[in-house]
Amino acid sequence: MDFSRLESPPRVLVVDDDLFLRTFLGRLLPILGFGVTAVASGEEAARLLAAGSTAFDLALIDVDMPGLDGPATARLLRRVKPGLVCCLMSGSPPDDGPGLADGSAIAFVPKPFAPKLLGDTLRTALAEAHELASG
């Protein structure tokens, strides 16, 4: 998928309880060619989508959060907006654990991450989801 042809950059919903990381990603993702909105919890992300803010192409979700964890958040967001591409991120290895194995997320970003790796992972996840949806 050629993102340079899109009218606007792909929109990412960042869900992470860490204020520093939300702020960092809020500054980094636009440099990498993405629009970004960041929230502190899975519940906040679900409220945002339920209120009609469904202009997101992808959700980047921390695995370990109080309340709804990453995989539960991904499942909830995909119920609100079917087809939303969800990627999980964590400082712990994924081990094909919850989220990846059950299909609620299609990619994993290890923390800490290099900016290029993050951008490449998000673009690949969007492209793969687009190919799956196209048939």
Q: In the prediction, which pLDDT does 94 show?
A: 59
Record the pTM: 0.88
pLDDT tens per residue, range 81-124: 888 999 999 988 655 554 555 666 788 898 899 999 999 999 99
State how far the Cα of 109 lies from the Cα of 103, in Å rounded to an integer: 15
Q: Where are the domains of the chain?
A: 11-134
Highest mean pLDDT among 32-36, 93-97, 130-134: 32-36
pLDDT tens per residue, range 53-90: 668 999 999 999 999 999 999 999 999 888 899 999 99
Q: Give the class (CATH, top level) of 11-134.
A: alpha beta
State how far the Cα of 62 lies from the Cα of 12, in Å rounded to an integer: 13
Inter-axis angle of helices 19-31 and 115-134, to 10 degrees? 70
Consecutive H or E run containing 14: strand 11-15
Q: In the prediction, which pLDDT does 120 show?
A: 95
State how far the Cα of 52 lies from the Cα of 125, in Å rounded to an integer: 24
